[in-house]
Amino acid sequence: MRANVSKVLRWSAVDGPGNRLVLFLQGCNFACPGCHNPHTIGICNNCGDCVPACPQGALSLTNGTIAFDAARCDECDLCLRACPISASPMTESLTVEDVLAMLRQNLPFLNGITISGGEATVQAKFVEALFAAIKADPALAALSCFIDSNGHLGPQGWQRLMPVTDGVMLDIKAFAPGTHAALTGRRNDKSLESARIAQKAGKLYELRFLMVPGFTDSDAEIDALIAFARGLGPVRIKLNAFQHHGVQGPARDWPKMPRAGVEAAAAKLRAAGLGEVVTPSVWL
């Protein structure tokens, strides 16, 4: 069992509770124009457009396949800008045992592991196998296993993942169906149902909502968030603010979400008595 991995963070304090190892899996079933990690959306098709864009010669096309030499890479990311399908030629293929080895190596510093993306559930079989292996390993079983997801997974998929998952951090991009489609290219019914499934299982650690000026910062969207959260019961809500970091294409011209707008929304949520409301700790 292997995963196509965009990046590994061996230590993170912002991707779930405590100190966590984070796997960012490659591939996403949303196509968000405002994505902060657009290079994680597509899967490399070995077209070769990235090869001449690399000034260090870290990429080559051999027998129709892109080869990546990490030792030559200086992380300029020019290859990512050259890719026509929002993919990355710098991914690595990791087995379950590869990840277990990393966890053992860093175990004294870790509280758990988080699978992010891209979209974690696009590679759900790997996530299930990895989490099951962690739970079965006496040395690693105390680590919590979290998923950071857009929620676009059906009930059967969650039925397989929930028994081995300790927490889900789930993004709701928008409540108005048309707005959600404009921001992601998809409907939001699966995401809303995924939040309900995770909450019913006692696994919804955090409901996340991205505030984008002109899209999701309206009173109607915040009122819809309040109504949805009330239907779930007590839940931690994290408000995120759209910024330009990593964004490519037309969304670079969208205005940044101002801090005052986020704090006003947070105050409204707190006044509604929904529970813990978290706002960004860093503003760029």
**Same domain flag for 139 and 246:** yes
The pLDDT of residue 284: 66
**Same domain flag for 159 and 267:** yes
The tens digit of pLDDT for each residue in 37-89 reads: 999 999 999 999 999 999 999 999 989 999 999 999 999 999 999 999 999 99
Q: What CATH number is given to the structural domain containing 253? A: 3.20.20.70
- Asked if residue 284 belongs to a domain, the reply is no
**Same domain flag for 58 and 142:** no
Q: Could you tell me which of 193, 200, 113, 112 has the C-alpha nearest to residue 162? A: 200
Query: φ and ψ at 245, to 5 degrees?
Result: -60, 120
The domain containing residue 64 runs over which residues?
Answer: 45-90
User: CA 20, 77, 72: angle at the middle one, nearest 5?
Assistant: 90
What tokens does 75 get? 């992380």
Distance separating alpha carbons of residues 137 and 151, to the nearest angstrom? 28
In the listed set 90, 121, 152, which residue is the last one of a domain according to the structure? 90
pLDDT at 281 over 90: no
Whether the CB-CB separation of 23 and 3 falls below 8 Å is answered with: yes
- Asked if residue 283 belongs to a domain, the reply is no
How many Cα atoms sit within 13 Å of 187 on the Cβ side?
6
Q: How far is CA 79 from CA 58, 60, 180, 250, 267, in A?
A: 10, 12, 30, 20, 42
**Same domain flag for 271 and 224:** yes
pLDDT greater at residue 248 or residue 261:
261
Which pTM value belongs to this model? 0.94
What is the percent of the chain with per-residue pLDDT over 70, rounded to a whole number? 100
**Same domain flag for 202 and 262:** yes
The tens digit of pLDDT for each residue in 218-251 reads: 999 999 999 999 999 999 999 999 999 999 889 9
Confidence of residue 283 (pLDDT cuts 50, 70, 90): confident
**Same domain flag for 185 and 86:** no
Q: What CATH number is given to the structural domain containing 80? A: 3.30.70.20
Can you point out the beta strands (E) in 117-199? Answer: 144-149, 167-172
**Same domain flag for 160 and 58:** no
Number of domains composing the chain: 2
First-to-last CA distance in the chain? Answer: 39
The tens digit of pLDDT for each residue in 4-17 reads: 999 999 999 999 99
The tens digit of pLDDT for each residue in 97-144 reads: 999 999 999 999 999 999 999 999 999 999 999 999 999 999 999 999
Confidence of residue 263 (pLDDT cuts 50, 70, 90): very high
